[in-house]
Amino acid sequence: MKQAQRRAAQHKAVSVQRRYSANPFQLLQHKSAVENPFQLLKTDTGLQPKGNPMQVIAGKTGLQRQGDNAAKKDLPVQAKTIQRLIAVNPHSSHGEPHEDYAIMKVVQQLRKFKKDKIIMLDGAADFSTMAQGETLYIASHGVSDTGQLASLNHDVLINKLTVGARKAPAHISGIVLLSCYGGEVREGQDQSLAQKLAAGLTTGGKTVEGANGFSFGTPNLAETGRSNVLSSDNIAFYKADDIDAMAARWETLMPAGAGVLAGRLGLDYVNPGITTLNNIRNGKNISEGAARGYIKTLMTHFKSVSRGIESQLTATLALIPGASLIEKIESLESATPNHNKPVYKLKVRWEKLIQQQFNLFNDYYLWTGSEEAFSVHRS
């Protein structure tokens, strides 16, 4: 009897193995029926993938859209951080913080995880009440030449954090710089801003992290405490004003997933092991020159959509009630379908635009992977 049961169990195991070996994507396809990874792509950016979305990315392990990798795998911040203090640099060439959609995106998305305290990184900044294990998040624009925070040199920031009655306690966890270039050693510099801060802290064991490129306020901030990062090598897409420069860079990228090659050009198979240029040449069986023509068309589309999203973010922010960054964020947080419905509609529009921007950069294979997005240094 026991031998018969063992044989039956072995037969069942073999049949299960054969069933899933025959189609290694069966479980993933079943899961995707619940959550279609291209749903927002269709409704928000107009990029409609053709054919089987699993087929076009079959060559990439994990079958993830590229932007999903940013910080989720390696940096589960919400699991490590009990609470966070958000310090906003008030200095910007884009106006006051509540007029600057880039700063507003970062802080508002970060607060979606937990309604952490917000302070201004000015002369009155007080870090003394930070709790055991608390992390300081700094939202700021970065200076392209040096990587410093806008109008705030690292030595001044170190002094605020380490000297006087309002300094940060020794028991904080560390600092995350949500500014452009904070983790990069810029040309002519010997250290990144994150390295300089780590070296200047008077107590050891603190981590200081900075973005290796352009830090964007995206939905990943709410989930992981890390922004999505656009590499400095892709600066042409940050500016989105020179189609030739964008095309020259984009044709060298390796596609991570289906993206626009499937969604706009209708390629049946996207090979992540070769460049976008060669994917188009092979997929359409055309010359290099003809493939570059397609790329120019894609770059024109990117520029148009990117600029449109930015202008809509600015316009939407101006309509959100509040005379300060904190007031505008609280207006969004308190609005519901049954309470302050006009502001709730603005909230829905704001969130949709942020998701559209994330999707656009994601579908053009532009986000940096989580392993390279942030540099981490210890005091």
Distance CA 52, CA 48 (A): 12
Percent of the residues in the chain that have a pLDDT greater than 70, as a whole number: 78
**Which residues, listed in sequence order, are joined to residue 356 by a DSSP beta bridge?**
none
Question: In terms of residues, how long is the chain?
Answer: 379
Q: What mean pLDDT, rounded, does the chain reach?
A: 83
Distance CA 182, CA 379 (A): 16
Segment 245-273 mean pLDDT: 97
Can you give the pLDDT at residue 236?
98
Q: Worst-scoring range by mean pLDDT, 16-20, 158-162, 171-175, 274-278?
A: 16-20
What dihedral angle (degrees, nearest 10) is formed by the CA atoms of 133, 137, 142, 146? -10
Can you give the pLDDT at residue 82?
57
- CB burial string 50-63: b at 16+ within 10 A, e below: eeebbebbeebeeb
- The count of other CB atoms within 10 Å of the CB of residue 339 is 9
Distance CA 225, CA 176 (A): 9
Can you give the pLDDT at residue 326?
96
Can you give the pLDDT at residue 249?
98
Q: Angle 358-121-205 (CA atoms, 0-180°, nearest 5)? A: 85
Can you give the pLDDT at residue 314?
97
Nearest to 88 by CA among 109, 112, 119: 119
Segment 215-229 mean pLDDT: 94
Can you give the pLDDT at residue 83?
75
Can you give the pLDDT at residue 370?
86
Residue 58 tokens read as: 């079959």
- Start-end of H helices in the chain: 2-22, 26-32, 39-40, 77-80, 101-111, 154-162, 193-200, 220-224, 235-239, 243-250, 259-263, 276-284, 288-319, 325-334, 341-363, 370-373
Can you give the pLDDT at residue 339?
87
- Of 52 and 125, the one with more pLDDT: 125
Distance of CA 144 to the CA centre of its chain: 19
Residue 320 tokens read as: 């959100």
Statement: residue 250 has pLDDT above 50: yes
Statement: residue 235 has pLDDT above 50: yes
- Cβ–Cβ under 8 Å, residues 367 and 230: yes
Statement: residue 5 has pLDDT above 80: no
Statement: residue 77 has pLDDT above 60: no
Can you give the pLDDT at residue 80?
45
Q: Which of 8-17, 68-77, 332-341 has the highest mean pLDDT?
A: 332-341
- Of 247 and 223, the one with more pLDDT: 247
Can you give the pLDDT at residue 92?
81
Nearest to 240 by CA among 366, 115, 79: 366
Provide the whole-model pTM.
0.79
Distance CA 116, CA 131 (A): 12
| pLDDT-derived band at 73, boundaries 50, 70, 90 | very low
Distance of CA 113 to the CA centre of its chain: 15
Segment 92-113 mean pLDDT: 92
**Which residues, listed in sequence order, are joined to residue 119 by a DSSP beta bridge?**
87
Q: Worst-scoring range by mean pLDDT, 47-56, 74-83, 161-170?
A: 47-56
Segment 35-42 mean pLDDT: 32
Distance CA 361, CA 344 (A): 26
Tokens 């942030």 found at: 374
DSSP 41: I
22 HSE (CA, 13 A, CB side): 5
Can you give the pLDDT at residue 12?
37
Statement: residue 60 has pLDDT above 50: no
DSSP structure string for 136-194 = EEEE--B-TTT-PBTTB-HHHHHHHHHSSTTSPPTT--EEEEESTTTTS--TT-SS-HH
The alpha carbons of the chain give a radius of gyration, in whole angstroms, of: 23
DSSP structure string for 316-342 = HHHHS--SSHHHHHHHHHH-BTTBSHH
Segment 156-165 mean pLDDT: 96
| pLDDT-derived band at 78, boundaries 50, 70, 90 | very low
Segment 182-199 mean pLDDT: 96
Can you give the pLDDT at residue 306?
98
| pLDDT-derived band at 351, boundaries 50, 70, 90 | very high
Percent of the residues in the chain that have a pLDDT greater than 90, as a whole number: 72
Statement: residue 209 has pLDDT above 90: yes
